[in-house]
Chain A
């Protein structure tokens, strides 16, 4: 499997994704500076977390217009997988690759802590190794993670089954008290219509090794590999 992680100026989880994917899958991961070219065809492109361009404009807005995004769009048009984590999710909505917007957390301010989310379906490129309804711990670290979409559009993405992860309790129930940022419909992870793009607010790379206290994230990367290998 060929993976590329794109570094925008101010990205700071790029090395983490490279490390987690390498540690779990033992495959080659290319770290690509936003001014460079993607090079050979990739199976998965990751837009990592961080503060691209300092997030001084709207989060992700500058990176969404970076030259490399042209190649990224070409990659997804051909059916390649694209994953945006945290700031990467913000880049995806700013680039129009996913609908909606990520607003300031319901209670304003940065929040970093372990976070339980529920896997809504397993017939996707990103979740084949999980079981439906499984609760996993992917930590969060963001100030702007409140997913917003007008309610009529929410109905559409729900009917299309595009909500892949929801914030929930340890036992899998959803509710405002288990939703760390006030996201609509408790959305933590959202698929594109074609299901090859995933925007994910929590960080699977932060729980991909047992030494970090939890390796739920490892299943996420393994899911992607199985899907790529089956194709």
Chain B
């Protein structure tokens, strides 16, 4: 085994050798090759991730633990994180997606939190491709198959289609759990004398070195990657959740760690490094599925549904007893001792002995060269006149509503258990998902956003817009943002133009987070999302979490009542650059997306919050994909009520109807509250555009669509 085969770069190998003052063994090389893969140590993006603001009043745990935690009041915290499972899902869609859900749930669990809500961000290839259909169906079935059985409600998500994801779909799994702030688990509290236990499934040959697989471009021969796929068992996971929470609540465990990427190695070395102790593992004590597994296979197996526990010696017996009661395997596999070592033995012989701090944190950062792409001018050169105006607005609007990115996704939502645990106030299908927290009487709003098309045109502006859109969505629902988690999905960073896009979009996101006071508390990076034929659009995805103190201050969408006045808050004319209308017409984005004014964003957020809290509107919807026309149609469809709308025409009608970007929302306000509504929005661009009623959406001078036509177009 040489270092190149192990996946290490020369400088990385040199660093290991000099730290050890000897040649690393084969087993050590394999371990380090995986631990220092991009997937495990973020070596390409660490300097960029430092740009994110991570502190805020509500932050109880920032990045660095298994998940971030924000204070949601009453002594409770919400632990959450989003994580990619892109490469596995490309090769084995059902299992790849299923184990993505399982993995993120265990991350939440490792914080001592009970997982209560999941969401999924899915990017699929061109919808007409046969392979897209197969991947999409497998991925959706995998998410449902796992999430439904494990009993965590899938409360929302995002699904989009673009040929850039052909053969390289994205699966970003988000989960959120509730934890008492004074009972948060930590991986930094192991002390010498304690025992290391492995709880859950036996260790097998599945998923070996999956992390390294996720750190390279997808090979053309996907069958060759199959051994790196893990197999999920949601039944085991359900028992694992209950057992871990039982042990945690009973004060029987010091610390716990999810075994995800790099399995036993990463979980144990991370606890050792963070706690400043040494860990010695006896691989002969690890329950195996196949007796003849090599040391490195045991160390790097990514068998699912396993947790590493740190337990006081006098409590080991009780932990084993309770594990058996839950029907789970559990074994003592090592000891915590003094020092900075991570030592593993097999058959009494040391097979790896490395400084614990070196494994997780020692990898040298890589500063890939960054270069502004030469075609920016061309990307940005776009005049609306380059596009012919639609002649039939009704047909154009219906075409948009029926487009795969905007049409209803009930075939997905209805295959998920969206209600289990009785927390779901607003499930999938709307701009925001809302859950109730019975423990403290508050509500949480969750908004998942990504806009790869605008990010591809202008990475910085796409990044700012993505974050801002999530925060607008929270604000319209009445939720004050507490924090967000991000998943950075990009192609290879090794091409300077691609690294530039990564860098610029992270800058945009970070600036938006800072300006709008929303800290980043957790996240994940997935690079090398490309094949020999294709590379994905830069796809930064965020999930923002916000708090609604008083449930009466919740404002949802799709709740028009007859006679409501309709208001558009924010600028009337947005931009066609990277809009769904443009993508549909031209097959690609062109032009430069709007430059955000953070001042305007802040003002919008304050006014939207005030509107919801004062109960001034029956319905509110932030404008997103498809712009005003699609927002109107979706509101009408969900409210089962029409409207008569007339729009001022300061610009081209298609910009007005279908333009996107910036802080804008559509409100329906009962007549008696119009005055108070106007008062709140005083000083912000505001246009009264119509009144609700009837069974058709009638936009004067442009189109009239019956509710039936809208429903049919949306596929409802």
Greatest chain A CB density within 10 A among B421, B424, B438 is at B421
Contact bitstring A45-73, B, C-beta under 8 A = 1, else 0? 00000110111100000000000000000
Report how many residues on chain A are interfacial, defined by Cβ distance under 8 Å.
Answer: 30
How far, in Å, is A161 (CB) from chain B's closest CB?
A: 31
Is B534 interfacial (CB 8 A cutoff)?
no
Q: How far is the CA of A141 from the CA of B413 in the complex (A)?
A: 12
Inter-chain contacts of B414 with A (CB < 8 A):
111-113
How far, in Å, is A114 (CB) from chain B's closest CB?
A: 9
Inter-chain contacts of A33 with B (CB < 8 A):
325
Taking a contact as CB atoms under 8 Å apart, the answer to whether B421 and A16 are in contact is: yes
How far, in Å, is A207 (CB) from chain B's closest CB?
A: 9
Inter-chain contacts of B418 with A (CB < 8 A):
112
Within 324-377 of B, Cβ neighbours of A (below 8 Å) are at 325-327
Contact bitstring A211-222, B, C-beta under 8 A = 1, else 0? 111000000000
Contact bitstring A78-110, B, C-beta under 8 A = 1, else 0? 000000000000000000000000000000011
Greatest chain B CB density within 10 A among A110, A203, A205, A211 is at A110
Greatest chain A CB density within 10 A among B238, B416, B419 is at B419
Contact bitstring B557-568, A, C-beta under 8 A = 1, else 0? 000000000000
Inter-chain contacts of A13 with B (CB < 8 A):
151, 420
Is A12 interfacial (CB 8 A cutoff)?
yes
Taking a contact as CB atoms under 8 Å apart, the answer to whether B420 and A16 are in contact is: yes
How far, in Å, is A26 (CB) from chain B's closest CB?
A: 15
Is A20 interfacial (CB 8 A cutoff)?
yes
Report how many residues on chain B are interfacial, defined by Cβ distance under 8 Å.
Answer: 30
Inter-chain contacts of B233 with A (CB < 8 A):
54
Within 223-250 of B, Cβ neighbours of A (below 8 Å) are at 233-236, 238-239
Is B149 interfacial (CB 8 A cutoff)?
yes
Taking a contact as CB atoms under 8 Å apart, the answer to whether A112 and B235 are in contact is: no
Is A10 interfacial (CB 8 A cutoff)?
yes
Which one of A20, A51, A205, A212 contacts B148 once the chains associate, using CB atoms below 8 Å? A51
How far, in Å, is B445 (CB) from chain A's closest CB?
A: 15
Inter-chain contacts of A133 with B (CB < 8 A):
none
How far, in Å, is A148 (CB) from chain B's closest CB?
A: 22
Which one of B238, B421, B425 contacts A51 once the chains associate, using CB atoms below 8 Å? B238
Is B597 interfacial (CB 8 A cutoff)?
no
How far, in Å, is A208 (CB) from chain B's closest CB?
A: 8
Inter-chain contacts of B235 with A (CB < 8 A):
9-10, 51, 53-54, 56
Which one of B148, B239, B327 contacts A141 once the chains associate, using CB atoms below 8 Å? B148
Q: How far is the CA of A50 from the CA of B152 in the complex (A)?
A: 11
Inter-chain contacts of A112 with B (CB < 8 A):
148, 414-419
Is B708 interfacial (CB 8 A cutoff)?
no
How far, in Å, is A10 (CB) from chain B's closest CB?
A: 5
Q: Does more than half of chain A's interface fall in helix, strand or loop, or is it mixed?
A: mixed
Is B4 interfacial (CB 8 A cutoff)?
no
Taking a contact as CB atoms under 8 Å apart, the answer to whether B422 and A141 are in contact is: no
Is A35 interfacial (CB 8 A cutoff)?
yes
Is B602 interfacial (CB 8 A cutoff)?
no
Is A42 interfacial (CB 8 A cutoff)?
no
Inter-chain contacts of B327 with A (CB < 8 A):
9
Taking a contact as CB atoms under 8 Å apart, the answer to whether B425 and A211 are in contact is: yes
Greatest chain A CB density within 10 A among B148, B150, B233 is at B148
Which one of A12, A111, A113 contacts B150 once the chains associate, using CB atoms below 8 Å? A12
Q: How far is the CA of A60 from the CA of B238 in the complex (A)?
A: 16
Q: In the complex, which residue of chain B has the Cβ closest to the Cβ of A20?
A: B422
Is A145 interfacial (CB 8 A cutoff)?
no
Known: A9-B327, A51-B148. A111 touches B420 (CB 8 A): no
Q: How far is the CA of A139 from the CA of B233 in the complex (A)?
A: 26
Q: In the complex, which residue of chain A has the Cβ closest to the Cβ of B137?
A: A109
Q: How far is the CA of A187 from the CA of B661 in the complex (A)?
A: 49
Known: A10-B149, A51-B148, A110-B144. A15 touches B238 (CB 8 A): no
Is B442 interfacial (CB 8 A cutoff)?
no
Is A206 interfacial (CB 8 A cutoff)?
yes
Q: How far is the CA of A213 from the CA of B325 in the complex (A)?
A: 38
Taking a contact as CB atoms under 8 Å apart, the answer to whether B415 and A10 are in contact is: no
Q: How far is the CA of A205 from the CA of B418 in the complex (A)?
A: 14
Taking a contact as CB atoms under 8 Å apart, the answer to whether B417 and A15 are in contact is: no
Is A121 interfacial (CB 8 A cutoff)?
no
Is B436 interfacial (CB 8 A cutoff)?
yes
Taking a contact as CB atoms under 8 Å apart, the answer to whether B415 and A111 are in contact is: yes
Q: How far is the CA of A51 from the CA of B239 in the complex (A)?
A: 11
Within 667-708 of B, Cβ neighbours of A (below 8 Å) are at none
Q: How far is the CA of A203 from the CA of B417 in the complex (A)?
A: 12
Q: How far is the CA of A205 from the CA of B421 in the complex (A)?
A: 10
Is A19 interfacial (CB 8 A cutoff)?
yes
Q: How far is the CA of A54 from the CA of B422 in the complex (A)?
A: 21
Taking a contact as CB atoms under 8 Å apart, the answer to whether A205 and B422 are in contact is: yes
Inter-chain contacts of B144 with A (CB < 8 A):
110
Q: How far is the CA of A110 from the CA of B418 in the complex (A)?
A: 11
Greatest chain A CB density within 10 A among B151, B236, B436 is at B151
Q: How far is the CA of A33 from the CA of B324 in the complex (A)?
A: 13
Taking a contact as CB atoms under 8 Å apart, the answer to whether A50 and B415 are in contact is: no
Contact bitstring A1-39, B, C-beta under 8 A = 1, else 0? 000000001101101100110000000000001010000
Taking a contact as CB atoms under 8 Å apart, the answer to whether B422 and A50 are in contact is: no
Contact bitstring A132-165, B, C-beta under 8 A = 1, else 0? 0000000101000000000000000000000000
Taking a contact as CB atoms under 8 Å apart, the answer to whether A109 and B238 are in contact is: no
How far, in Å, is A58 (CB) from chain B's closest CB?
A: 14
Is B47 interfacial (CB 8 A cutoff)?
no
How far, in Å, is A25 (CB) from chain B's closest CB?
A: 15
Q: In the complex, which residue of chain A has the Cβ closest to the Cβ of B416?
A: A112
Taking a contact as CB atoms under 8 Å apart, the answer to whether A51 and B234 are in contact is: yes
Q: How far is the CA of A16 from the CA of B438 in the complex (A)?
A: 12
Inter-chain contacts of A12 with B (CB < 8 A):
149-151, 238, 420
Inter-chain contacts of A113 with B (CB < 8 A):
414
Q: How far is the CA of A51 from the CA of B152 in the complex (A)?
A: 12
Taking a contact as CB atoms under 8 Å apart, the answer to whether B238 and A10 are in contact is: yes
How far, in Å, is A8 (CB) from chain B's closest CB?
A: 11
Greatest chain B CB density within 10 A among A19, A51, A206 is at A51
Inter-chain contacts of A211 with B (CB < 8 A):
425, 436, 551
Contact bitstring B151-162, A, C-beta under 8 A = 1, else 0? 100000000000
Q: In the complex, which residue of chain A has the Cβ closest to the Cβ of B426?
A: A213
Inter-chain contacts of B149 with A (CB < 8 A):
10, 12, 50-51, 54-55
Taking a contact as CB atoms under 8 Å apart, the answer to whether B417 and A110 are in contact is: yes
Q: How far is the CA of A110 from the CA of B436 in the complex (A)?
A: 25
Q: How far is the CA of A55 from the CA of B425 in the complex (A)?
A: 28
Q: How far is the CA of A216 from the CA of B418 in the complex (A)?
A: 19
Q: In the complex, which residue of chain A has the Cβ closest to the Cβ of B551?
A: A211
How far, in Å, is A173 (CB) from chain B's closest CB?
A: 20
Q: In the complex, which residue of chain B has the Cβ closest to the Cβ of A36?
A: B325
Within 173-210 of A, Cβ neighbours of B (below 8 Å) are at 203, 205-206, 209
Taking a contact as CB atoms under 8 Å apart, the answer to whether A212 and B417 are in contact is: no
Taking a contact as CB atoms under 8 Å apart, the answer to whether A50 and B151 are in contact is: yes
Q: How far is the CA of A16 from the CA of B421 in the complex (A)?
A: 6
How far, in Å, is B276 (CB) from chain A's closest CB?
A: 38
Q: List 12 A-B contacts (CB under 8 A).
A: A9-B238, A12-B149, A12-B238, A13-B151, A13-B420, A51-B238, A56-B235, A110-B415, A141-B417, A206-B419, A211-B425, A211-B551
Known: A112-B148, A112-B414; 20 extra A-B contacts, CB below 8 A, are: A9-B235, A9-B238, A9-B326, A9-B327, A10-B239, A12-B420, A13-B420, A35-B325, A51-B235, A109-B415, A110-B148, A110-B415, A111-B415, A112-B415, A139-B419, A141-B148, A203-B419, A206-B422, A212-B419, A212-B424
Which 8 pairs show the lowest CB-CB distances between chains A and B? A12-B151, A54-B235, A51-B149, A16-B422, A112-B417, A141-B417, A10-B235, A206-B419
